[in-house]
Amino acid sequence: MSKDKLKRFAENLTFPNFFQPTIEEAMQGFHLKGKWNKDFFGNDNPIVLELGCGKGEYTVALAHKYPKKNYIGIDIKGARMWRGCKTAIEEKMTNVAFIRTRIDLILNFFDKSEIGEIWITFPDPQPRMKQVKKRLTSPRFIERYEQILIPKGIIHLKSDNTEIYNFTLSTIENDGHHLLFQTNDLYNSGFEGDAVEVQTFYENMFLKENEAIKYIQFRLG
């Protein structure tokens, strides 16, 4: 492991907006579960999650744009998350937090109807058939989201990957969810909104390679 990564891991632990519970602590139920607004953010504003947040580009950018919402980025890659944590602290943002954990443990961190909206930004497409259940838009994960989202809470997916785009559309149709918007070429679709206003590190890489960006917005049925 590089010295830079080790330095970032160590610095993460000093950030007041960064949480890294052990698996045992998570399995017992994270201490802020059901209490994020009251005990961390200190307000009653809606909470938005960015899953697989990487450097936290959406978490930070949307928190800037919507100061009356609270944002939490979740990823297992602590060295990447360091950038979002540090930026939020440097800019004195009080509506941002990050959790380093596995996303399949999400029910241990949030209570019923505690989350208002979810962004899934450029997730690992898990291309092999035996990995399908690990896709963040698989029924296995969507069942978890349904337990923590408010009624009519919205889920966003952005990806360069055609397979996960089509897989997600099939899941939405097969499981009776409500498709609100879809495009297999976001920047030539005429869509206006947060999905085009924020670009992640990986998204910029894909765009330089002339990869079309896919976007889906849906609500659970």
CA distance 86 to 197: 22
**Side chain identity, residue 13:** L
Using CA atoms, how far residue 59 sits from 15, 42, 65, 97, in Å, is 16, 18, 10, 8
Active-site amino acid positions: 124
Tell me the C-alpha distance between 128 and 18, whole Å: 33
Q: How far apart are CA 167 and CA 161, in angstroms?
A: 10
d(CA 53, CA 26): 19
Q: How far apart are CA 174 and CA 48, in angstroms?
A: 26
Is 9 within 8 Å of 81 (Cβ atoms)? no
Least Cα distance to 56 among 18, 92, 21, 23 occurs for 18
Cα–Cα distance, 105 to 108 (Å, whole number)? 6
- CB–CB of 115/148 below 8 Å? yes
